[in-house]
A = this chain, B = another copy of it.
């Protein structure tokens, strides 16, 4: 870079004390006399001194950086989570590194080279091996994940969502509203790898002929699936969707083919994003408390960092009933 960075030594010289005293003063970690304190502070101010965190990290072997592996930042649920987590980390004097996940492990190993304080991962593309590798190095790891990993290191703390509970609630609610044929739209890309959410729906719905659509990314796809579902024998009278963006797209597709929500068919989403609230009609959704979850993740990480044994955390979601699932 070629520019001169003022260091602790410069401060020490100007204040006429030793570099050690400067460290003691800054970190409040050793005795520094009143006169010395004052001279040091003056020197810091006049020089505009800024401690080099990298040097500090190297010495104390901790960068005070948390890494968030999270591909779906464009999903409101995750952007909310990351936002809140970053703020919570800041309060404890940690900084957050945000990172999407690249398929190979190389990048993850590289990031770990930053002597990071902890890792939060909410991603399907980050494998159990990578997670375990980090845990083995005693890096605190917290994951947000539906699917269970049998061979996950016990050192890893998992945040789980109680999908059984909420899917029961959804199915009961829809039945009360007169729905019999529910159609589930999953984010899984294939019927072979079912996420816990989808499985929980199966269990709650408990029907042989349950209809599931997989991996719907945008509305045009949703549209086709929905049209085709109406040409089949079991016309759905409710769509339960893996998240609000999908529910939103489904709503649009339904409207486009001339049906009405909730009169002809009901729609339920997940995550309680603002689109669910402000959509016309507003969409019944599930609040998983993404704001709280960001704070929880940081809290768990810091407790692990302090050597505490931390239990897995289970989130109990709430159903927010709105226009899209009320028969008047």
Contact = CB atoms under 8 A, between A and B. Distances in A.
A274 interface: yes
B95 A99 contact: yes
Interface in A8-66: 48, 50-55, 57-58, 61-63, 65
Contacts of A95: 97, 99, 110-111, 114
A130 interface: no
A245 interface: yes
Nearest to A114: B53
Nearest to A222: B278
Given A58-B58, A98-B96, A99-B96, A52 B274 contact: no
A303 interface: no
B54 A138 contact: no
A172 interface: no
A82 B98 contact: yes
A253 to B, nearest CB: 9
Contact of A255 (B79, B82, B96, B280): B280
A165 interface: no
A97 B100 contact: no
A1 B138 contact: yes
A3 interface: yes
A65 B97 contact: yes
Contacts of A109: 50
How many identical subunits does the complex contain? 2
A74 B74 contact: no
A269 interface: no
Interface stretch (A83-91, A177-185, A188-196, A208-216): A83-91
Contact of A251 (B52, B57, B97, B280): B280
Contacts of A87: 100
A115 B50 contact: no
A252 interface: yes
A128 interface: no
A86 B96 CA distance: 13
A100 B86 contact: yes
A112 B58 contact: no
A275 interface: yes
B100 A54 contact: no
Interface of A: 1-3, 5, 48, 50-55, 57-58, 61-63, 65, 68, 73-74, 76, 79-80, 82-83, 86-87, 90, 95-100, 102, 107, 109-115, 133, 137-139, 218-219, 245, 248-249, 251-252, 255, 274-275, 277-280, 282
Given A74-B80, A95-B111, 6 more contacts: A52-B58, A53-B114, A54-B63, A74-B76, A74-B83, A90-B102
